[in-house]
Amino acid sequence: MELLKHLAQISGPSGAEDMIRNTIKAEAAGKCDEVITDALGNLILIKKGDAPNKKKIMVAAHMDEIGIIVKHIDKNGFIRFCAVGGVETRHLVGRRISFLNGISGVIGCEEEEFNKKPALDKLFIDVGALSAEKVNAKIKIGDMAVFCGDTVIKEDTVISKALDNRAGCYILLKTLSKLNRKNDIYMTFTVQEEVGVRGAGAAAYSVEPDYAIAVDVTDTGDTPNAPVMDVQMGAGAAVKIMDRSVLCDAYLRNFIIETAKRNNIPYQTEIMADGGTDAGRIHITRGGIKTGGISIPTRYIHSPSEMASISDINACIELLAAVLNEL
């Protein structure tokens, strides 16, 4: 799992995916036939098939993670910021952040907000400086940062920041080596998913696939008093039926399920009441694209300590490879 650990620790907030894109591109060297980086920054790895009736299949996993962006530095050097993506303020007070230039800081809170869920405009970043002049020498308006969270791997569990969606990127990379030459496969690492699934739409428009599969994390219903949901960590790959952004194509969904059964791959079915994935944008691109989803059951999504099962991740790899090879 060293590759997953490496991917998770690279900083790549929405709109600043350069470092993670370069890492994925280097990891995929020699494993595909063509590499494209489009105008938005999506990375598309193409592996060509040679079957006479081959299909064009797009697989999407977003590279970006949630983060923050600097909007103001006050006279004492405290930094005010905006959210980049679905940042939940209850996770933030006292958390360490890391700017893309390597500067570290801590998120503080105005005193009257300390004992309740704070509003975003009541939070600030403290980089240890005592004046705006000292901070401005290192940090500028528009600079981005991500949340710090070590990657811990123990037995069947991985805990880390940015498993959403570096776990999906890991799955696509590992699947590359398992593909036969039946279909044309477009492994697409998308940008700006966390701020409105922007990259996936542009990529799908240019690829124009026959089928698409989004690979991303999904919530679970297996923690105390969690919202009712059948997905459990450790019970296998989650085959998406629907989320707030998509009703998955019935044929493709059933094909994924039957493929799991034929290959004895553990799976479960997913209905996620809140949230969405790249599938939501892909399926309504051009004249419509038959789209499905394979998801990684993950606890504490959008926190610095997301948790997933290694066996579930491996099941996703096996299922995705089997579907791409048999579809």
What is the secondary structure of 24-71 as a DSSP string? Answer: HHHHTTTSSSEEEE-TT--EEEEE----TT--EEEEEEE--B-EEEEE
Q: Is the pLDDT of residue 116 over 80?
A: no
Q: Both tokens of residue 39?
A: 């105008």
Predicted pLDDT at 1? 85
Among the listed residues 34, 111, 112, 193, the single catalytic one is 193
Find the largest Cα–Cα distance for the chain.
68
The residue with greater pLDDT, 321 or 120, is 321
The domain segmentation of the chain, as residue ranges, is 2-65+161-326, 67-147
H helical segments located in 79-197? 132-136, 163-176
135: pLDDT confidence band, cut at 50, 70 and 90?
very high
Predicted pLDDT at 174? 97
89: pLDDT confidence band, cut at 50, 70 and 90?
confident
C-alpha 185/C-alpha 209 separation (Å) is 9
Predicted pLDDT at 113? 62
Predicted pLDDT at 90? 80
For 134-149, what is the mean pLDDT?
A: 94
Share of the chain above pLDDT 90, in %: 90
Mean pLDDT over all residues of the chain? 95
Q: Which residues pair with 107 in a beta bridge?
A: 125
Architecture of domain 2-65+161-326: 3-Layer(aba) Sandwich (3.40)
Pick the closest to residue 139 from 80, 64, 93, 85 (CA basis): 80
For 62-77, what is the mean pLDDT?
A: 96
Q: Is the pLDDT of residue 159 over 80?
A: yes
Predicted pLDDT at 111? 78
For 227-246, what is the mean pLDDT?
A: 95
Q: Is the pLDDT of residue 91 over 80?
A: no
Predicted pLDDT at 19? 97
Predicted pLDDT at 114? 63
Predicted pLDDT at 274? 87
Predicted pLDDT at 92? 87
Share of the chain above pLDDT 70, in %: 99
Q: Which residues of 93-122 are buried (b: 16+ CB within 10 A; e: fewer)?
A: bebebbbbeebebebbbeeeeeeeebeeeb
Q: What number does CATH give the domain 67-147?
A: 2.40.30.40
C-alpha 276/C-alpha 99 separation (Å) is 27
Predicted pLDDT at 115? 64
C-alpha 249/C-alpha 264 separation (Å) is 23
pLDDT digits (tens, 9 = 90+) for 221-233: 999 998 899 999 9
For residue 193, indicate whether it is catalytic.
yes
